[in-house]
């Protein structure tokens, strides 16, 4: 079954003012580990240039059938594509695709292409609501084409209404879903992400460097594979994926309460959050002043949420933990796997550049209670999220 990371994406960009957002879409797809090749219509180049997409994706961007003399470019591109997306997709392009026209590189490539296709329409309200457009949309939908949007919002010429292109993050989710297996359909997955902040006073706190990227990547992957996902998210600037229930928390105690309330109903729980191990025993309710001297800060342990879940788990629940370590990563991870009664544990290397908190990659090993371990190696967070979800999916299969 295909997975998002490593998949080859054809990004079609057509002539609409929303074309500038396609650059962000290209970046989101690339950050997820996908190989993106952009094909622009001639009209699209009035708004954005192919050089922008080449720089963002690391692959050549094309405009014309004649960009590569000596080869049949549209055939090669079609055969080297796992999933195609057109964003923005104008009324003209929708009509071309419905009627099978092939008068430019993008239309020719998509006529030759036989695979999942996602369209993100963008046009004025009258054009979107026109009988001809709706007939073409119905025709394409009957062929299995997926539409994302359009949505209500500000349009060109100062108008407001249906026809605005969906946001790049939502379009990216549709692309991910188009190539992911639906092997988590019906599963209820609970994910924690981000740090916790334990207050010292109303201004200061004890925390850690976790960004929340890893847990959010897992929530995104699980949702795209069909799961009903609840994300318990500590303080973070990372935007959660759409169509996921998000519970915002700040402290370890708040995270514990949110998780315990939802634990029994979950089929799988992934504790990717970096929960603070200690908190001030008696936080001040007023800001401590510098001129009063260095305070004596008495600490106490925070609740060990993962250990509690390991003790409370019911038969059939799949429990995944994370361990962030600077030394003896695998040894420490194995000890935690056993002591917390986990099904799997991701042991990360932290404390150096390019891995762990805040980075786009992790040096990690995946330790599995019943089954082969995955050796230590560098991963993108999207790749790591996919393997964690693979384990959850495998746990649901009859034995």
Which residues have a catalytic role annotated? Answer: 208
Alpha helix ranges (H) inside 271-380: 305-312, 329-339
Structure letter (DSSP) for residue 292: G
Could you tell me the CA-to-CA distances from 51 to 23, 42, 54 in Å, in that order?
11, 14, 5
Distance CA 122, CA 139 (A): 18
- Is residue 298 exposed (0-12), middle (13-18) or buried (19+ Cβ within 10 Å)? exposed
Supply angle C-alpha 167, 168, 173, rounded to 5: 105
Distance CA 78, CA 9 (A): 10
Q: How do beta strands 318-325 and 299-301 pair?
A: unpaired
Contact 278, 198 (CB under 8 A): yes
Distance CA 25, CA 27 (A): 5
Contact 115, 73 (CB under 8 A): no
Distance CA 366, CA 323 (A): 10
Supply angle C-alpha 88, 228, 21, rounded to 5: 15
Q: For residue 335, what are the contacts with CB-CB under 8 A and spacing of at least 6?
A: none
- Is residue 373 exposed (0-12), middle (13-18) or buried (19+ Cβ within 10 Å)? middle
Contact 155, 195 (CB under 8 A): no
Distance CA 319, CA 96 (A): 49
User: In the numeric block, which tokens belong to residue 234?
Assistant: 């500590």
């Amino acid at each position: 079954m295909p997975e998002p990371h490593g998949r080859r994406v054809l990004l079609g960009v057509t002539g609409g003012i929303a074309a500038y957002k396609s650059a962000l879409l290209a970046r989101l797809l690339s950050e997820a580990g996908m190989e993106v090749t952009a094909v622009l219509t001639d009209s699209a180049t009035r708004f954005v240039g192919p050089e922008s997409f080449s720089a963002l994706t690391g692959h050549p961007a094309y405009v014309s059938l004649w960009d590569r003399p000596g080869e049949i470019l549209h055939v090669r591109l079609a055969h080297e594509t796992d999933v195609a997306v057109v964003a923005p997709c104008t009324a003209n392009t929708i009509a071309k695709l419905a009627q099978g026209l092939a008068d430019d590189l993008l239309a020719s490539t998509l006529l030759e292409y036989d695979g999942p296709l996602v369209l993100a329409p963008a046009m004025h309200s009258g054009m979107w609501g026109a009988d001809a457009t709706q007939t073409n949309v119905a025709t394409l939908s009957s062929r299995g084409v997926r539409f994302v949007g359009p949505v209500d919002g500000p349009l060109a010429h100062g108008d407001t209404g249906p026809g605005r292109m969906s946001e790049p993050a939502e379009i990216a989710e549709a692309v991910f879903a188009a190539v992911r297996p639906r092997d988590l359909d019906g599963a209820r997955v609970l994910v924690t992400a981000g740090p916790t902040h334990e207050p010292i006073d109303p201004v200061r706190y004890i925390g850690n460097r976790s960004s929340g990227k890893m847990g959010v990547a897992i929530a995104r992957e699980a949702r795209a594979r069909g799961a009903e996902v609840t994300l318990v998210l500590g303080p973070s600037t990372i935007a959660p994926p759409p169509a996921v229930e998000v519970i915002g928390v700040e402290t370890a105690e708040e995270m514990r309460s949110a998780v315990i309330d939802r634990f029994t109903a979950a089929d799988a729980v992934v504790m990717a959050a970096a929960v603070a191990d200690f908190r001030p025993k008696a936080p001040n309710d007023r800001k401590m002043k510098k001129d009063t001297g260095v305070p004596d800060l008495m600490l106490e342990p925070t609740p060990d949420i993962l250990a509690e879940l390991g003790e409370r788990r019911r038969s059939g629940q799949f429990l995944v933990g994370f361990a962030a370590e600077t030394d003896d990563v695998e040894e420490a991870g194995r000890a935690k796997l056993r002591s917390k009664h986990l099904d799997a544990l991701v042991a990360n290397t932290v404390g150096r550049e390019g891995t762990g908190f805040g980075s786009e990659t992790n040096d990690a090993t995946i330790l599995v209670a019943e089954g082969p371990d995955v050796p230590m190696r560098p991963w993108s967070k999207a790749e790591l999220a996919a393997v964690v979800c693979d384990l959850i999916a495998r746990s649901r299969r009859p034995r």
